Amino acid sequence: MDYRKLGQDITELVGKKDNIARLTHCATRLRFELHDISKAETEKLKALPGVITVVNNGGQYQVVVGNEVQQVYRVITQQMGSATRSADSKSDSGKNNGPKQKQSWISRFISVISTTFTPVIPAIIGAGMIKAILAVLVLTGLVTTESQNYYILNTIADAAFYFMPILLAYGASIKFETSPILAMTVAGVLLHPGWSALMAEGKDVFFIGVPVRLTDYAGSVLPIIIVVWLMSYIERFADRVSPSMIKFFTKPMIVLLITAPLALVAIGPFGTYLNDLVAMGAEAINARASWLIPLLMGTLQPFLIVTGTAWAMTPIATSQLTKNGYEMINGPGMLASNIAQGGATLAVALKTKNKKLKQLAASSGFTAVLGITEPSLYGVTLKLKKPLIAAMIGGGVAGIYAGLTGLVRYAFVSPGLAALPAFIGSNPMNIVHAIVTCLIAFVVTFALTWIIGFEDPVDDDEGNTIVNDDKTHSGQPVQDNTPGTKSAATTNANVPSQNEIRPLTIGSPMQGELVHLDRVPDDVFSLGLLGKGAAIIPAKGELYAPIAGEVTAFMDSKHAVKLNGYNGEELLIHIGVDTVNLKGRHFDSSIKVGDRVQQGDLLISFDIDAIKAEGYEVITPIIIANSDRFPDIKLEKRSSVEVGATIIHLS
């Protein structure tokens, strides 16, 4: 691979070096922040030899190049010179010194909402599922709404929504690079019982002569996000004016003394007004055309996911759930869309004659009808195009029914068959309408996919997938099977001949639960774009060498390592998902590139609880980076594994 040429081509296709605001990298992908993303030529980038795929998500333009990302990164940064800085490079004040990415206000808003809500999602989904279980218990008569059991369970489920400002303050503090503890403290001021007592009295309230609007901030969204944004500037001011000898005392005092009163007197009421205004607008649309929002969500949800704008409606939905106990903005349309994605993908699984596609479509279609659509969307329907069109039509038709019947969601869960209890509530017909919505979405989409069909990939004699006979296929090197021409695979000097094939084993690098790669919530890993392998959900924060070999790549953020074994195997081990963003926090290691290690040597220590507390998954993919070298790769059939236990068999 000519990394210099690849780096030059990537630089050219992202809009040249002047379009790059910032460039970082993780273990497999280049992460660009671009001044003008429209200048990036995505399709040409995807077609570059050496580029696996391109992902545009969360304000970052990610070019996935695999295990050799560091070589490509070095080439591009050499070309850039001082024009770009890594996000890890900071000034003394702790802030990024590189040029800022120019984004539209819509992109900035979605980026803020996405970053703010991501750490909160486990809490509100967990609370939502408890709400769903509670609805089933009431429906079956196992508990009554007057019982203490109901009261306690309902309190547990309501806590995440009542204290939403505190939870969101944490995510917002990460986005705006300010103190999480101080941000959460200010949120606590808004929810303090003393504030509630003032509201209960109903008297006029003044602070230093300024009237204070008494507002209930429980479950609110926009007020705390605006407050934390303002606090980020106040904290920088406090840092500048505080003498270094007493900064430990004066800085937090200044931040709280300025931010909290501003939040109560001005910012909080203004944010609440905006929050209510947006919610009123959505409810007005729903009152006049109840079918419109579910139709749009049911039809456009795949587009919103791909473009990263699916978060835009989340503040309204959570606000409605907190205020009314139900929402009609996200849930009904998403239910229709998710089931439609599953219907399209399962139709592909039944109709295709391609074995690889059939296996992928069957598994991802099943997860889609349960409520998780990304594997189905990215792995099947988006690539085949016609099934995606069928899914959008089916989702729209089902969305119209959901809107006309007044379908609502009573809990914040990912809509699908597994989350149907979230549609059980005070209206007994609501769950019936939810089931009918699912049936319409599935049947219409399945039938459309079957009728309009799709361009079915075919396998060549060696089992490689070829689409349109253009010698391109997913997940494997392109091979030329023209008579008289040897394929790249057969001419590769690193590939053993038949009489050199021998069994190899990969040991477990950590203690935990062994799972398939499709459990990893990152398509680059779960769809096998970087190679085959397995994943482990760690029970202990220690990573050991699974083979004897040499460290050939090690991230500065210490979350990923690549080992080349003495028998030719190349392993990439990636602790967690998107943990590159932690920039080394909660990881500890003394290894370096070039070190030779023995199986069982301790490579990396990491704090599982701290990583989870920052909102990141710790599931760890173990990838055979040169999977094409091994004709037979099998995963050990076990769940719980200890360090050193065999998890993968290679030939």
**Token pair of 73, please?**
């990164």
Per annotation, catalytic residue among 25, 26, 438, 473: 26
Neighbouring CB atoms inside 10 A of 148's CB total 8
Active site residue 574: yes
Q: Quick one: CA dihedral 155, 157, 160, 161, positive or negative?
A: negative
| 419, burial (CB in 10 Å: exposed 0-12, middle 13-18, buried 19+) | buried
The one-letter amino acid code at 306 reads: V
Neighbouring CB atoms inside 10 A of 89's CB total 12
The one-letter amino acid code at 648 reads: I
How far is it, in rounded angstroms, from Cα 259 to Cα 233? Answer: 10
* Alpha helices (H) in 405-518, listed in sequence order: 430-452, 488-491
* 197 phi and psi angles, rounded to 5 deg: -65, -40
How far is it, in rounded angstroms, from Cα 191 to Cα 224? Answer: 11
How far is it, in rounded angstroms, from Cα 490 to Cα 499? Answer: 14
How far is it, in rounded angstroms, from Cα 365 to Cα 495? Answer: 35
* 527 phi and psi angles, rounded to 5 deg: -90, 5
Neighbouring residues of 638: CB distance < 8 A, sequence distance ≥ 6: 514, 645, 647
Residues β-bridged to residue 572: 562, 623
Residues β-bridged to residue 550: 564, 596
The one-letter amino acid code at 250 reads: T
Query: Taking the chain, what is the end-to-end CA distance rounded to the nearest angstrom?
Result: 25
**Token pair of 510, please?**
């950590």
Per annotation, catalytic residue among 433, 473, 559, 574: 574
Instruction: Classify residue 406 as left (phi > 0), alpha (psi -120 to 50) or beta.
Output: left
Helix (H), strand (E), coil (C) string for 20-33: EEEEEECCCEEEEE
Cβ–Cβ under 8 Å, residues 10 and 51: yes
Short-list 627, 347, 619, 350, CA closest to 492: 627
How far is it, in rounded angstroms, from Cα 103 to Cα 651? Answer: 49
Task: Give the active site residues.
Answer: 26, 574
